[in-house]
């Protein structure tokens, strides 16, 4: 069977892009389109491994692991070892499931003009069939994620435990699906906290920003580690300062379970909120 390089690369560009979307859905990690496209491009080029002799098992295995790590880094960035490791593992899982499905199709259905070698798939079929099949698979992933999110707990009693700079604070928290604030750079969800309740663990720069009406007067070095982003809700808007704490754990006191979460802590500048902390229950699933 003749393999056309342009078809091989385009198919695997498309497949890798949807694999990254699946990882994004499962881990709630949002990322910009050009990062996903760049990562998918790496996967497309990696499809050339179809020409590596299958006897080189160790080389192929190490190559696949390296490519998953590289694709996850390009798609989602590095926001800490735990978050990065989760992204890599989920990408490996999605790739493994996809490879298993393709192997089953190849062995049992044996469609004409299809090759599956070294974990790389090649179809000699029309483009519309590929598009519909991939969209269907992605739709299944979305349905699974929706079912899991529907089971998110919103009526429990929660405490957010934040550790940073050798200090710790505990905030009573509300699980609210209306909190959809996400850092536009890392894609991490944001737990909105009251400034006065987490002053001990917050970077000093946040107090400087809150007390200074002109943020431009504050040097960039002084606000290192703090990200400022505009936000809007029903009836109000403003600025929110976000930072990455050393550890964030949500304690579900109702079910006596603790959830280490990968999230940013957000402080609304000049804001006054009723609850000590508000988080989206999706991060518990």
**The pLDDT of residue 33:** 79
Q: Give, for 20, the enclosing helix (H) or strand (E).
A: helix 5-27
CB of 193 closer than 8 Å to CB of 265: yes
The rounded distance, in Å, linking the Cα atoms of 141 and 98 is 12
Average pLDDT along the chain, 285 residues, taken 10 residues at a time: 68 83 77 85 84 77 87 85 85 78 61 58 61 70 66 70 90 82 81 86 79 61 75 68 89 82 83 77 76
Query: For position 224, what pLDDT does the model report?
Result: 72
What pLDDT score does 70 carry?
92
Domain boundaries in the chain? 5-150, 158-284
For the domain spanning 158-284, the CATH number is: 2.40.70
The 3-state secondary structure of 23-90 reads HHHHHCCCCCHHHHHHHHHHHHHHHHHHHCCCCCHHHHHHHHHHHHHHHHHHHHCCCCHHHHHHHHHH
**Residue-wise pLDDT tens digits, 249-265:** 998 887 778 888 888 99
pTM over 0.75: no
Q: Specify the residue for token string 């099949």.
A: 133
Q: What pLDDT score was predicted for residue 161?
A: 92
Instruction: Quote the pLDDT of residue 143.
Output: 76
Report the interhelical angle of 57-76 vs 5-27 (nearest 10°).
60
Distance CA 1, CA 136 (A): 27
Q: Residue 216 has what pLDDT?
A: 58
Q: Are strands 264-268 and 190-193 parallel, antiparallel or unpaired?
A: parallel
């Amino acid at each position: 069977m003749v393999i056309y390089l342009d078809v091989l690369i385009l198919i695997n560009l498309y497949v890798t892009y949807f694999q990254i979307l699946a990882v994004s859905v499962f881990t709630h990690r949002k990322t910009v389109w050009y990062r996903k496209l760049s990562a998918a491009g790496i996967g497309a080029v990696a499809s050339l491994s179809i020409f590596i002799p299958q006897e080189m098992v160790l080389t192929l295995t190490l190559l696949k692991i390296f490519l998953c790590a590289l694709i996850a880094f390009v798609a989602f960035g590095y926001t800490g070892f735990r978050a990065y490791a989760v992204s890599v593992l989920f990408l490996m899982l999605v790739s493994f499931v996809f490879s298993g499905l393709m192997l089953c199709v190849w062995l049992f259905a044996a469609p004409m003009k299809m090759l599956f070698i070294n974990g790389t798939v090649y179809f000699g079929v029309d483009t519309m069939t590929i598009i519909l099949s991939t969209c269907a698979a992605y739709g299944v992933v979305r349905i699974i994620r929706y079912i899991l999110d529907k089971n998110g707990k919103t009526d429990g009693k929660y405490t957010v435990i934040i550790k940073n700079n050798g200090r710790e604070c505990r905030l009573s928290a509300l699980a609210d699906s209306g909190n959809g604030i996400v850092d536009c750079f890392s894609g991490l969800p944001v737990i909105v906290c009251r400034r006065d309740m987490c002053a001990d663990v917050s970077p000093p720069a946040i107090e400087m920003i809150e007390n200074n009406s002109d943020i431009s007067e504050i040097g960039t070095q002084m606000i290192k580690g703090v990200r400022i982003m505009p936000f809007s809700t029903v009836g109000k808007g403003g600025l929110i300062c976000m930072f990455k704490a050393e550890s964030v754990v949500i304690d579900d006191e109702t079910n006596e379970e603790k959830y280490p979460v990968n999230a940013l802590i957000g402080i609304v500048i000049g804001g006054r909120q009723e609850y000590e902390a508000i988080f989206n229950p999706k991060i518990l699933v």
